[in-house]
Amino acid sequence: MSRRLVLVHGFAQTARCWGPLAADLGRDLDVVAVDLPGHGASPSPACDLRGAAALVGEAGGRATYLGYSFGGRVCLRLALDRPDLVERLVLVGATAGLEDQASRAERCAADEALAQQLEAEGVAAFLDRWLGLPLFAGVPERHQYREERMRNTAAGLAASLRLAGTGAQEPLWGRLRELGESRLEVLAVAGGRDAKFAAAAQRLALGIGPTAEVALVEGAGHTAHLEQPERFLVLLRGWLARHG
């Protein structure tokens, strides 16, 4: 098993938003942090989830993949499409999509409205609203990486919402058993205060089977790795040590 760890950020972040976590993990792992299509310095325009997964796999190669939120959905798709590349999988605050057609349509409409706001008002105004959401209330200001997020463009983020948002993606719940059948080791992480994604983590692990584990980061919400980085690292390093 390689020592490469590929870090895949969330929506409206960039590869640099992992902050000191990347440096800490880089002490004994070959860490590769990528910019998702439509984000940061990525040369690729935004694309759908399948396309984003293919590009991430091309950049990361054979490795352990760690994805947060949107990045978690990308990594999950990569593990299903290219099991030859994904040696281990860590999902933080992630889901396998929306199964109900009405819920998907509602989410697509919400993402379209947000995309139009982005295009009309720009990234700075969007970040004011985005980082002010209750979902991110637990993230310390120093770990919001607002200046780094400003490297994103309104066009790139808007296209990402339209093409790869949760409503636009094919739900993957019915395929999770494929990961268990291939004996892929998976860690599903959520913040202990993030009830919605803690439930999603439990469901992900149940769908995958015995090779999947759930870890809840005490005192953290949706962005567990930035809200409680020390606790997150303890959980992650313990799991990595147990699995190769």
Pairing of strands 4-8, 63-68: parallel
- Binned average pLDDT, 10 residues per bin, the chain of 244 residues: 95 96 96 98 96 98 98 98 98 97 97 97 96 94 96 98 97 98 98 98 98 98 97 97 91
Tell me the residue length of the chain.
244
Residue 244, pLDDT score: 82
Instruction: Spell out the domain ranges in the chain.
Output: 4-242
Residue 123, pLDDT score: 98
Residue 1, pLDDT score: 81
> What's at 95, amino acid-wise?
T
pLDDT digits (tens, 9 = 90+) for 130-160: 999 999 999 999 999 999 999 999 999 999 9
CA distances from 31 to 15, 22, 116, 146, 221 (A): 11, 7, 35, 23, 25
Contacts of the segment 137-143: beta carbons below 8 A, 24+ positions apart: 137/221, 138/191, 138/193, 138/220, 138/221, 138/222, 138/223, 138/227, 139/221, 139/223, 139/226, 139/227, 140/226, 140/227, 143/19, 143/223, 143/226, 143/227, 143/229
Joined together, the tokens standing for residue 163 give 């093409």
Name the fold adopted by 4-242.
Answer: Rossmann fold (3.40.50)
Rounded Cα gap, residues 192 and 190, in angstroms:
6
Residue 2, pLDDT score: 85
pLDDT digits (tens, 9 = 90+) for 150-194: 999 999 999 999 999 999 999 999 999 999 999 999 999 999 999
**Number of Cβ atoms within 10 Å of the Cβ of 99:** 11
Joined together, the tokens standing for residue 148 give 């780094």
